[in-house]
Structure 1
Amino acid sequence: MGVNYVVLAVRSEDFIFGADIFVREAQERWPGCEVFDANRSKDSQTTLVQMEPQDEPSFSIDHFPNNRMVSTDGTPDQAAEVAAWVRQANPDPGLVLWFVDDSFSGHTVLYPGITPEQITTNWVDHSEHDPYTEYPDYFN
Protein backbone atom coordinates (compact mmCIF):
# COMPACT_ATOMS: atom_id res chain seq x y z
CA MET A 1 0.00 0.00 0.00
CA GLY A 2 1.16 3.52 -0.64
CA VAL A 3 0.61 6.97 0.73
CA ASN A 4 -2.66 8.61 -0.29
CA TYR A 5 -2.96 11.42 2.25
CA VAL A 6 -0.70 13.30 4.66
CA VAL A 7 -1.29 15.40 7.77
CA LEU A 8 1.60 17.79 8.25
CA ALA A 9 2.72 20.58 10.52
CA VAL A 10 3.21 23.33 7.96
CA ARG A 11 5.61 25.57 9.88
CA SER A 12 9.12 24.25 10.46
CA GLU A 13 9.00 25.03 14.19
CA ASP A 14 5.85 22.95 14.78
CA PHE A 15 5.47 19.23 15.41
CA ILE A 16 2.54 16.84 15.77
CA PHE A 17 3.61 14.23 18.31
CA GLY A 18 6.38 11.76 19.01
CA ALA A 19 6.17 8.07 18.16
CA ASP A 20 5.25 6.98 21.71
CA ILE A 21 2.29 9.37 21.90
CA PHE A 22 1.30 8.42 18.34
CA VAL A 23 1.13 4.74 19.30
CA ARG A 24 -0.73 5.40 22.56
CA GLU A 25 -3.31 7.63 20.87
CA ALA A 26 -3.76 5.19 17.97
CA GLN A 27 -4.30 2.25 20.32
CA GLU A 28 -6.91 4.27 22.20
CA ARG A 29 -8.70 5.32 19.00
CA TRP A 30 -8.40 1.96 17.18
CA PRO A 31 -8.27 -0.80 19.84
CA GLY A 32 -6.63 -3.93 18.46
CA CYS A 33 -4.53 -2.11 15.87
CA GLU A 34 -1.10 -3.58 15.14
CA VAL A 35 2.04 -1.51 15.70
CA PHE A 36 5.20 -1.94 13.64
CA ASP A 37 8.57 -0.18 13.71
CA ALA A 38 10.19 -0.38 10.32
CA ASN A 39 13.58 0.86 9.19
CA ARG A 40 12.73 2.73 6.03
CA SER A 41 16.32 3.88 5.61
CA LYS A 42 19.42 3.35 7.64
CA ASP A 43 19.11 6.83 9.21
CA SER A 44 15.38 6.87 9.84
CA GLN A 45 12.88 4.99 11.97
CA THR A 46 9.20 5.16 11.04
CA THR A 47 6.40 3.77 13.18
CA LEU A 48 3.39 2.24 11.45
CA VAL A 49 -0.03 1.37 12.84
CA GLN A 50 -2.20 -1.07 10.88
CA MET A 51 -5.99 -1.11 11.23
CA GLU A 52 -8.34 -3.81 9.96
CA PRO A 53 -11.86 -2.48 10.54
CA GLN A 54 -14.85 -4.73 9.93
CA ASP A 55 -16.68 -4.14 6.65
CA GLU A 56 -14.04 -1.64 5.44
CA PRO A 57 -10.67 -1.92 3.74
CA SER A 58 -7.65 -2.22 6.02
CA PHE A 59 -5.43 0.85 6.22
CA SER A 60 -2.27 2.04 7.88
CA ILE A 61 -0.94 5.24 9.39
CA ASP A 62 2.78 6.04 9.27
CA HIS A 63 4.42 8.35 11.81
CA PHE A 64 7.62 9.98 10.56
CA PRO A 65 10.68 10.57 12.76
CA ASN A 66 10.68 14.35 12.36
CA ASN A 67 7.39 14.36 14.36
CA ARG A 68 5.90 16.74 11.78
CA MET A 69 3.99 14.35 9.55
CA VAL A 70 1.76 11.29 9.46
CA SER A 71 0.51 9.61 6.30
CA THR A 72 -2.22 7.11 5.57
CA ASP A 73 -3.08 4.79 2.72
CA GLY A 74 -6.75 4.69 3.67
CA THR A 75 -9.80 5.57 1.64
CA PRO A 76 -10.76 9.26 1.49
CA ASP A 77 -13.22 8.77 4.36
CA GLN A 78 -10.66 6.88 6.46
CA ALA A 79 -8.05 9.55 5.71
CA ALA A 80 -10.41 12.33 6.82
CA GLU A 81 -11.05 10.37 10.02
CA VAL A 82 -7.28 10.06 10.60
CA ALA A 83 -6.82 13.80 10.00
CA ALA A 84 -9.59 14.69 12.48
CA TRP A 85 -8.00 12.30 15.00
CA VAL A 86 -4.57 13.95 14.61
CA ARG A 87 -6.12 17.39 15.11
CA GLN A 88 -8.07 16.20 18.17
CA ALA A 89 -4.84 14.89 19.70
CA ASN A 90 -3.29 18.34 19.08
CA PRO A 91 -5.89 20.93 20.17
CA ASP A 92 -3.46 23.89 20.36
CA PRO A 93 -4.99 26.52 18.02
CA GLY A 94 -1.50 27.91 17.37
CA LEU A 95 -0.44 24.65 15.70
CA VAL A 96 -0.96 24.89 11.93
CA LEU A 97 -1.88 21.48 10.50
CA TRP A 98 -2.82 20.71 6.91
CA PHE A 99 -4.40 17.65 5.34
CA VAL A 100 -3.08 17.12 1.79
CA ASP A 101 -3.19 14.41 -0.84
CA ASP A 102 -0.14 12.62 -2.19
CA SER A 103 0.13 14.92 -5.22
CA PHE A 104 -0.39 18.16 -3.22
CA SER A 105 -3.35 19.00 -5.47
CA GLY A 106 -5.30 20.41 -2.54
CA HIS A 107 -5.48 20.84 1.20
CA THR A 108 -7.73 21.38 4.19
CA VAL A 109 -6.60 23.49 7.13
CA LEU A 110 -7.21 21.40 10.25
CA TYR A 111 -8.59 23.68 12.94
CA PRO A 112 -9.37 22.43 16.47
CA GLY A 113 -12.66 20.55 16.61
CA ILE A 114 -12.85 19.83 12.87
CA THR A 115 -14.84 16.74 11.89
CA PRO A 116 -14.09 14.28 9.10
CA GLU A 117 -17.08 15.65 7.16
CA GLN A 118 -15.76 19.21 7.48
CA ILE A 119 -12.34 18.07 6.29
CA THR A 120 -13.92 16.81 3.07
CA THR A 121 -16.17 19.86 2.66
CA ASN A 122 -13.38 22.40 3.28
CA TRP A 123 -11.00 20.94 0.67
CA VAL A 124 -9.17 23.72 -1.23
CA ASP A 125 -8.21 22.82 -4.81
CA HIS A 126 -4.68 24.03 -5.61
CA SER A 127 -5.54 24.48 -9.28
CA GLU A 128 -7.86 27.27 -8.12
CA HIS A 129 -5.88 28.52 -5.10
CA ASP A 130 -2.08 28.49 -5.26
CA PRO A 131 -0.82 27.75 -1.72
CA TYR A 132 2.61 29.21 -2.54
CA THR A 133 0.94 32.56 -3.33
CA GLU A 134 -1.76 32.48 -0.67
CA TYR A 135 0.48 31.18 2.15
CA PRO A 136 3.96 32.54 1.37
CA ASP A 137 5.09 32.33 5.02
CA TYR A 138 4.71 28.54 4.94
CA PHE A 139 6.71 28.02 1.75
CA ASN A 140 9.92 30.03 2.02
Structure 2
Amino acid sequence: MGVRYMVLVPDPNQVIFDADTFVKEAQVRWPGCRVFVDDPSKAISDASVRVDSADDPTFMVIHFPDCRALTTDGLPYQAAEVAVWVREVHPDPGLVLWLIDNGFAAHVVLHPGITTDEIHAGWVDHREHNPYEEFPQYFGDW
Protein backbone atom coordinates (compact mmCIF):
# COMPACT_ATOMS: atom_id res chain seq x y z
CA MET A 1 0.00 0.00 0.00
CA GLY A 2 1.16 3.52 -0.72
CA VAL A 3 -0.10 7.05 -0.75
CA ARG A 4 -2.86 7.54 -3.28
CA TYR A 5 -4.44 10.76 -2.04
CA MET A 6 -3.66 13.62 0.34
CA VAL A 7 -5.89 16.10 2.12
CA LEU A 8 -3.84 19.21 2.75
CA VAL A 9 -3.95 22.85 3.67
CA PRO A 10 -2.06 24.61 0.89
CA ASP A 11 -1.89 27.82 2.92
CA PRO A 12 1.35 27.61 4.94
CA ASN A 13 -0.28 29.61 7.74
CA GLN A 14 -3.08 27.11 8.39
CA VAL A 15 -3.29 23.64 9.96
CA ILE A 16 -5.83 20.82 9.95
CA PHE A 17 -5.58 19.32 13.42
CA ASP A 18 -3.01 17.84 15.78
CA ALA A 19 -2.42 14.11 16.20
CA ASP A 20 -4.59 13.80 19.32
CA THR A 21 -7.56 15.44 17.62
CA PHE A 22 -6.97 13.33 14.50
CA VAL A 23 -7.11 10.11 16.55
CA LYS A 24 -10.15 11.21 18.56
CA GLU A 25 -12.12 12.30 15.49
CA ALA A 26 -11.09 9.20 13.51
CA GLN A 27 -12.38 6.95 16.28
CA VAL A 28 -15.72 8.77 16.12
CA ARG A 29 -15.88 8.47 12.31
CA TRP A 30 -14.63 4.86 12.12
CA PRO A 31 -15.48 3.12 15.41
CA GLY A 32 -13.16 0.20 15.94
CA CYS A 33 -10.41 1.56 13.71
CA ARG A 34 -6.94 0.52 14.75
CA VAL A 35 -4.82 3.43 16.01
CA PHE A 36 -1.06 3.68 15.63
CA VAL A 37 0.93 6.40 17.37
CA ASP A 38 4.33 6.98 15.82
CA ASP A 39 7.45 8.72 17.06
CA PRO A 40 8.03 11.53 14.54
CA SER A 41 11.75 11.41 15.28
CA LYS A 42 11.77 7.87 13.85
CA ALA A 43 8.94 8.06 11.29
CA ILE A 44 7.58 10.76 9.01
CA SER A 45 4.12 10.46 10.57
CA ASP A 46 2.95 10.90 14.13
CA ALA A 47 -0.33 8.96 14.04
CA SER A 48 -2.35 6.77 11.74
CA VAL A 49 -5.51 4.71 11.71
CA ARG A 50 -6.35 1.52 9.87
CA VAL A 51 -9.96 1.20 8.83
CA ASP A 52 -11.17 -2.37 8.40
CA SER A 53 -14.55 -3.24 6.97
CA ALA A 54 -16.25 -6.50 6.11
CA ASP A 55 -17.55 -4.96 2.88
CA ASP A 56 -14.70 -2.72 1.69
CA PRO A 57 -10.93 -2.97 1.36
CA THR A 58 -8.88 -1.97 4.38
CA PHE A 59 -7.29 1.46 4.13
CA MET A 60 -5.01 3.69 6.17
CA VAL A 61 -5.24 7.37 7.02
CA ILE A 62 -1.96 8.92 8.13
CA HIS A 63 -1.40 12.20 10.01
CA PHE A 64 1.81 14.22 9.80
CA PRO A 65 3.45 16.24 12.59
CA ASP A 66 3.26 19.56 10.72
CA CYS A 67 -0.56 19.26 11.08
CA ARG A 68 -1.02 20.32 7.45
CA ALA A 69 -1.68 17.01 5.70
CA LEU A 70 -3.31 13.59 5.89
CA THR A 71 -2.69 10.83 3.39
CA THR A 72 -4.69 7.75 2.54
CA ASP A 73 -4.00 4.65 0.52
CA GLY A 74 -7.71 4.09 0.03
CA LEU A 75 -9.58 3.71 -3.21
CA PRO A 76 -11.04 6.86 -4.83
CA TYR A 77 -14.38 6.57 -3.03
CA GLN A 78 -12.61 6.00 0.30
CA ALA A 79 -10.37 9.03 -0.28
CA ALA A 80 -13.47 11.10 -1.03
CA GLU A 81 -15.03 9.90 2.24
CA VAL A 82 -11.85 10.86 4.14
CA ALA A 83 -11.91 14.30 2.50
CA VAL A 84 -15.57 14.86 3.38
CA TRP A 85 -14.83 13.78 6.96
CA VAL A 86 -11.96 16.27 7.31
CA ARG A 87 -14.14 19.06 5.92
CA GLU A 88 -16.97 18.12 8.32
CA VAL A 89 -14.57 18.30 11.26
CA HIS A 90 -13.54 21.76 9.99
CA PRO A 91 -16.62 23.53 8.59
CA ASP A 92 -14.95 26.98 8.79
CA PRO A 93 -14.86 28.32 5.20
CA GLY A 94 -11.73 30.29 6.13
CA LEU A 95 -9.76 27.04 6.29
CA VAL A 96 -8.57 26.15 2.80
CA LEU A 97 -8.55 22.38 2.22
CA TRP A 98 -7.62 20.49 -0.93
CA LEU A 99 -7.71 16.83 -1.91
CA ILE A 100 -4.85 15.98 -4.27
CA ASP A 101 -3.79 12.82 -6.06
CA ASN A 102 -0.42 11.18 -5.46
CA GLY A 103 1.23 12.84 -8.45
CA PHE A 104 -0.19 16.32 -7.79
CA ALA A 105 -1.74 16.10 -11.24
CA ALA A 106 -5.12 17.34 -9.98
CA HIS A 107 -6.91 18.72 -6.95
CA VAL A 108 -10.38 19.35 -5.55
CA VAL A 109 -11.10 22.35 -3.32
CA LEU A 110 -13.00 21.01 -0.31
CA HIS A 111 -15.65 23.62 0.42
CA PRO A 112 -17.87 23.29 3.52
CA GLY A 113 -20.69 20.84 2.87
CA ILE A 114 -18.94 19.12 -0.05
CA THR A 115 -20.20 15.65 -0.95
CA THR A 116 -18.38 12.64 -2.32
CA ASP A 117 -20.21 13.10 -5.63
CA GLU A 118 -18.94 16.68 -5.86
CA ILE A 119 -15.43 15.46 -5.17
CA HIS A 120 -15.59 12.86 -7.93
CA ALA A 121 -16.89 15.49 -10.39
CA GLY A 122 -14.72 18.38 -9.21
CA TRP A 123 -11.13 17.43 -10.03
CA VAL A 124 -9.11 20.33 -11.48
CA ASP A 125 -6.52 19.05 -13.97
CA HIS A 126 -3.14 20.70 -13.39
CA ARG A 127 -2.25 20.38 -17.07
CA GLU A 128 -5.04 22.88 -17.71
CA HIS A 129 -4.80 24.92 -14.50
CA ASN A 130 -1.29 25.32 -13.08
CA PRO A 131 -1.70 25.68 -9.30
CA TYR A 132 1.71 27.34 -8.95
CA GLU A 133 0.55 30.14 -11.25
CA GLU A 134 -3.08 30.31 -10.13
CA PHE A 135 -2.35 30.14 -6.39
CA PRO A 136 1.03 31.85 -5.83
CA GLN A 137 -0.02 32.66 -2.26
CA TYR A 138 0.19 28.93 -1.49
CA PHE A 139 3.12 27.85 -3.60
CA GLY A 140 5.39 30.89 -3.75
CA ASP A 141 8.02 29.27 -1.52
CA TRP A 142 7.91 25.82 -3.16
- TM-score, normalized by length of structure 2? 0.94
Indicate the residue corresponding to 1:74 in structure 2. 74
Indicate the residue corresponding to 1:86 in structure 2. 86
Distance 1:51 1:13 in 2: 30
* Runs ≥4 residues deviating over 2 A: 38-45
Distance 1:126 1:45 in 2: 27
Q: Secondary structure at the match of 2:24?
A: helix
Deviations 1:72-102 (A, max 9, x none): 0000000000001001101111011110011
Q: Secondary structure at the match of 1:114?
A: coil
Q: Secondary structure at the match of 2:38?
A: strand
Deviations 1:44-76 (A, max 9, x none): 552010001121110000000011100000000
Distance 1:82 1:28 in 2: 13
Q: What aligned pairs does 1:1-140 form with structure 2 within 5 A after superposition?
A: 1-39=1-39, 41-42=41-42, 45-140=45-140
Segments of 5+ residues of structure 2 without an aligned counterpart are none
1:133–1:79 Cα change, 3 Å:
same
Q: Which amino acid aligns with 1:81?
A: E
Judge which range, 38-47 or 12-21, deviates more. 38-47
How much does 1:20 deviate?
0.9
Distance 2:26 2:43 in 1: 25
Segments of 5+ residues of structure 1 without an aligned counterpart are none
Aligned residues: 140
Distance 1:70 1:4 in 2: 11
Distance 2:40 2:19 in 1: 15
How much does 1:38 deviate?
2.5
How much does 1:127 deviate?
1.0
- TM-score, normalized by length of structure 1? 0.95
1:71–1:43 Cα change, 3 Å:
closer
How much does 1:37 deviate?
1.4
The percentage of counterpart residues that share the same residue type is: 54
Q: Which amino acid aligns with 1:47?
A: A
How much does 1:43 deviate?
7.3
Distance 1:6 1:83 in 2: 9
Q: Secondary structure at the match of 1:138?
A: helix
